[in-house]
Structure 1
Amino acid sequence: MAAGGYPAADPGGGFTGGDSAPDGTGGTTDGTGDKGDKSGLRTALAGLTTRGRSFLAAGIAATVCAYVLGQSDLLRVGLLLTVLPLVCAGVLYRTRYRVAGSRRLSPARVPAGSEARVHLRMDNVSRLPTGLLMLQDRVPYVLGPRPRFVLDRVEAGGRREVSYRVRSDLRGRYPLGPLQLRLTDPFGMCELTRSFATYDTLTVIPHVEPLPPVRLAGEATGYGDGRQRSLALAGEDDVIPRGYRYGDDLRRVHWRSTARYGELMVRREEQPQRARCTVLLDTRGPAFQGAGPDSAFEWAVSGAASVLVHMLERGFSVRLLTDSGSAAPGEGTDGFAGVGQGSADAAGLLMDTLAVVDHSDTYTLSAAYDVLRGGNEGLLVAFFGDLDEEQAAVAARMRQRSRGAIAFLLDGAGWSQGPGAPVSPQCARRLRLLQEAGWTAVAVPPGASVVSMWRQADRERTGTAAPTSTGGRS
């Protein structure tokens, strides 16, 4: 972790510059003064502490009294009290040294409820030792209190390393920094505080639960139905004739196409297909009640993250879709992640998207339905909030373009009552409507784990699930 560039000195002296980027590179601060003496004087006087201001006020009062009373001894005391804080401020302001700071996050992406460690490093890149340094890093209140450190004298060319922990139960992207340094004189008369220019970002992703490898309807075994045809690289098989590429087998030369196009053409043969899975996340604001890490919406986000990671690990091409019809940015050319890129990169991209997903302004699922009816989705896994009669009908039609469909329906009335609440009659009616349309639909009670609901979906498919309590006639 090395120091980075060296920005120009601040006109007011003290500390300026930029702290590290996530890769650990740092910035440098310069403590030299500036040509603007008036501006420098104002900066130095503004840095006087309560002790320094008290000494200055007492010195001025003693000097005035000594002049009025004609006491020379009191005049000398007054001058000493007045000059001491001014001298300390001037010496501190004119101190010449350069300090480089850097920050490193470990890890930079952390699940909700887990801790991350932030490592700070300060390097004295000047030829003079520093005085006492007080270091403070700015963090959002949801990550904990602001960390503060006191660094003893740093020798020329020396370094100091400190670290602190942050933790958040709420997913999101949180800025860390800018880093602040405060320098004091030995008498505590003056303090100069300066901030670095840049900051890092900690990404808190949804909690992911490892799911068991159950066999669900619509899942393909490896080849044939339910698999996506993937484009071939050089030397691989495709589906129609194409130009010759280095490494192709000469036995696959298609002479008729070669004669027609005037260049060497080879046959494209059918290739094994790759399973697709679309995860639909309902983000409509009216569909969810409550907020916080234990709310129904956060459960849906965590469930979607768990399913996406599970499907990527099983070799599926996955897509994250919301009710507004938008998908995670940066996916494959066909809209599915995990085909032309590593599963780890695809999972990181999807988790970054889910880390900042929030309630949408839409009230219907029509936009998502328009996207789904445009092609074969393979396996469809949906996380729905409260559905009225119209939106339940739209959700039921989504089943037509998928080979298998699983729905997790979060009952808003039950989640508002807390754990142990029965399924409401309205939720039971929506479940029956989805099941009649071919969905494997289950109601999610408050406090249920994603793993248990995943297993229940498998039992619903095989017809071994226990009867669901509706809490009343529907």
Structure 2
Amino acid sequence: MTEDSGSGLRAALGGLTTRGRSFLAAGIAAAVCAYVLGQPDLLRVGLLLAVLPLVCVAVLYRTRYRVAGGRRLAPSRVPATSEARVHLRIDNVSRIPTGLLMLQDQVPYVLGPRPRFVLDRVEPGGHREVSYRVRSDLRGQYPLGPLQLRLTDPFGMCELTRSFSAYDTLTVVPKVEALPAVRLGGEASGYGESRTRTLSLAGEDDLIPRGYRHGDDLRRVHWRSTAKYGELMVRREEQPHKARCTVLLDTRRPAYYGAGPDSAFEWAVGGSASVAMHMLERGYSVRLLTDTGSSVPGPDGAGGADASDAAGIMLDTLAVVDHSDGAGLSRAHEVLRAGNEGLLVAFLGDLDEEQAAIVGRMRQRAGGAVAFVMDSSVWSSRESRESQDPAYPALPLPGADAGDGETRNGEIRARRAVRMLREAGWTVLQVSAGDVLADLWQRADRYRSREEAGTG
């Protein structure tokens, strides 16, 4: 990173400190008085006072390109509530030592106070390294920089601020919760020997042979394709069939109550990240889908590098996901109708009967379906209790029955939506404020086992 050329000499003159301006004004005043009074000695003093700050400005202006800086994040992607360390390095690329340097980095207020450092003297060709920590409770992508360097002269006459052109981005991803290993519906094709299928099961006409390679077994030669292509062709080896999982995140703005790190929407985002990472670790091909129809596909292969890349892409997506203005889940339903999704895990906000019916139809194309439904009536009552000052308890007011009636209507609507989803074959869990995803994940497995036992 090199220093920005920025302003010219006029900006450098604007960097005069109060002391420098005072010296300049005193020098000009002394020179005027010497001219009026005819005192040459006073004129010499006035010229000295006026020239000194100007010389300091010229020296600083000439040394503005002699310093290079860099920034390094460790790590560049951190979970919410975790700390990252930012390392700054200043190199003196000139042949003369620097004076006093004041270093300042531009940091969003969400990450903490703006860091400032004072560097005394950097020898020619030398460098200095400093570091500071940043932390955020809110997910997102935050720019760090540009780095600002303030140069001062030994007399304190002038201070010049120069900004470096480059900046870095710190990505704060949702906090991922470790989940227990359970066996949910739709996973039968993803475990043990059943995860491997041969293409020959689809019939010989569906085979896609490949060219013969040295060392291939001659018993695998496909003679019909050999005659067709005029070269030796062999049947492909057995292809592993990866189990698939789709994580559906409902981002509709009207479906959630409140905001902030403890809101229902943030719980749903963190739950989506936890489930996606858990299924990737178990070898699934995972796709993240939102109500808008946009999706982040998982890796096609089972390699660790591909899974790692997919995890990074999905975490980066969830770090910046926000509420959508859409009012329905029909776009997500259209995406899911394209094929068999294997296991479908949904994090849903408030549902009316129409949206519950759409979600119910999503179950038709999934081998297993688990829904975590946010109970906004419970979340809203909890946030109201937490915001209430204990020293001033709420008093019953006229018209309070109307609010209670609205809460009861919301509870009735939520129970009706849950019943519709369960009738459609979903394993449904209602989420209240303070619930732990790992406990709900195990409870979903127990509910599925009961449903299979009841239907068996």
Identify the TM-score tier after normalising by the shorter chain. Answer: 0.7 to 0.9
Structure 1 partner of 2:416: 429
Structure 1's 393 and 224: CA in aligned 2 closer, same or farther, altered over 3 A? farther
Q: Distance in 2 between matches of 1:252 and 1:130?
A: 74
Tell me the residue number matched to 1:386.
Answer: 350
Aligned match for 2:328, one of 361, 364, 368? 364
State the SS of the aligned residue for 2:242. Answer: strand
| Unmatched tracts of structure 1, length 5 or more | 13-38, 232-237, 465-474
Gaps of 5+ in 2: 200-204, 386-406, 452-456
Select the residue among 362, 369, 375 that pairs with 1:411.
375
Give the counterpart letter for 2:71 in structure 1: R
Q: How far apart, in 1, do the equivalents of 2:75 and 2:198 lie?
A: 34
Partner deviation per Cα, 1:58-102 (whole Å, 9 max, x = no partner): 333344445455566655544333222122212222347622211
Q: 1:342 aligns with which of 268, 292, 306?
A: 306
Q: Which of the numbers 180, 204, 220 marks the counterpart of 1:252?
A: 220
1:175 counterpart letter in structure 2: P
**Match of residue 240 from structure 1:** 207
**Contact 2:210–2:233 (Cα < 8 Å) also in 1:** yes
Distance 1:230 1:141, change over 3 A: farther
Conserved 8 A contact 2:210-2:236: no
Q: Provide the rounded CA distance (Å) in 2 between the counterparts of 1:285 and 1:222.
A: 37
Separation in 1 of the partners of 2:62 and 2:359? 70
Distance 1:418 1:450, change over 3 A: same
What do residues 9-39 of structure 1 show as CA deviations (whole Å, max 9, x unaligned)? 8375xxxxxxxxxxxxxxxxxxxxxxxxxx5
Give the equivalent residue in structure 2 for 1:222.
191
Partner in structure 1 of residue 58 of structure 2: 90
1:322 to partner: Cα distance: 0.6
**1:226-281: CA deviations, max 9, x gaps?**
x69699xxxxxx96141224253221001122223322222246544211111000
Number of residue equivalences: 423
Q: Is residue 378–residue 433 contact of structure 2 (8 Å, CA) maintained in 1?
A: yes
Q: Aligned partners of 1:249 and 1:45: how far apart in 2?
A: 82
SS of corresponding position for 1:161: strand
CA–CA separation in structure 2 for the residues paired with 1:189 and 1:341: 56
Flag the 1:185–1:418 CA change in 2: closer, same or farther, 3 A: same
Of 98, 105, 108 in structure 2, the residue corresponding to residue 130 of structure 1 is: 98
Q: Which residue of 1 aligns with 2:110?
A: 142
Residue 462 (structure 1) aligned with residue 444 (structure 2): no
| Per-residue deviation, residues 264-313 of structure 1 (Å, max 9, x unmatched) | 22224654421111100011111112111111111101000000010011
Partner residue of 2:5 out of 5, 10, 13: 10
TM superposition shift of 1:463: 3.6
Who is 1:107 aligned against? 75
TM-score, normalised to structure 1's length?
0.82
Distance in 1 (alpha carbons) for counterparts of 2:421 and 2:173: 30
The structure 1 segments of at least 4 consecutive aligned residues displaced by more than 6 Å after TM superposition are 228-231, 419-423
Which is worse superposed, 288-297 or 50-59? 50-59
Identical aligned residues as a percent: 70
Which structure's residues are more often helix, by fraction? 2
Cα–Cα, structure 1 residues 170 and 51, in superposed 2: closer, same or farther, change >3 Å? same
Structure-2 separation of matches of 1:116 and 1:338: 31
**Are residues 241 and 274 of structure 1, via their aligned partners in 2, closer, same or farther at CA, if it must alter by over 3 Å?**
same
Contact 1:230 1:339 survives alignment (8 Å): no
Alignment check: 8 A CA contact 1:178 1:196 kept: yes
The separation in 2 between residues aligned to 1:337 and 1:109, in whole angstroms, is 24
Conserved 8 A contact 1:318-1:338: no
Select the residue among 174, 199, 214 that pairs with 2:142. 174
2:425 maps to which residue? 438
Residue identity matched to 1:209 = E
Amino acid at match of 1:362: G
- SS at structure 1 position matched to 2:296: coil
SS of aligned partner of 2:87: strand
Q: 1:229 to 1:347 in 2, by over 3 A?
A: farther
Give the equivalent residue in structure 2 for 1:117: 85
Q: 1:222 to 1:180 in 2, by over 3 A?
A: same
| 1:449 equivalenced with 2:444 (yes/no) | no
- Following superposition, the deviation at residue 438 of structure 1 comes to 0.6
Are the structure 2 counterparts of residues 93 and 280 from structure 1 closer, same or farther at C-alpha, using a change threshold of 3 Å?
Answer: same
What residue is the counterpart of 2:399 in the other structure?
none
Alpha-carbon distance between aligned partners in 1 of 2:206 and 2:241, rounded to the nearest angstrom: 11
Going from structure 1 to structure 2, the CA distance change for 1:96 and 1:182 (only over 3 Å counts) comes to closer
Aligned-partner SS, 1:418: helix
Letter aligned with residue 187 of structure 1 = F
Counterpart of 2:185 in structure 1: which amino acid?
Answer: A
Q: Is the alpha carbon distance of 1:339 and 1:369 closer, same or farther for their aligned partners in structure 2, counting shifts above 3 Å?
A: farther
Q: Write the distance in 2 (CA, Å) between the matches of 1:80 and 1:340.
A: 71
Give the Cα separation in 1 of the matches to 2:220 and 2:159: 79
Residues 11 and 383 of structure 1, relative CA distance in 2, 3 Å threshold: closer
> 8 Å contact 1:138–1:177 — kept in the other structure?
yes
User: Residues of 2 paired with 1:245 and 1:291: CA distance?
Assistant: 60
User: Alpha carbons of 1:374 and 1:94: their partners in 2 closer, same or farther (altered >3 Å)?
Assistant: closer
**Aligned match for 2:181, one of 194, 199, 213:** 213
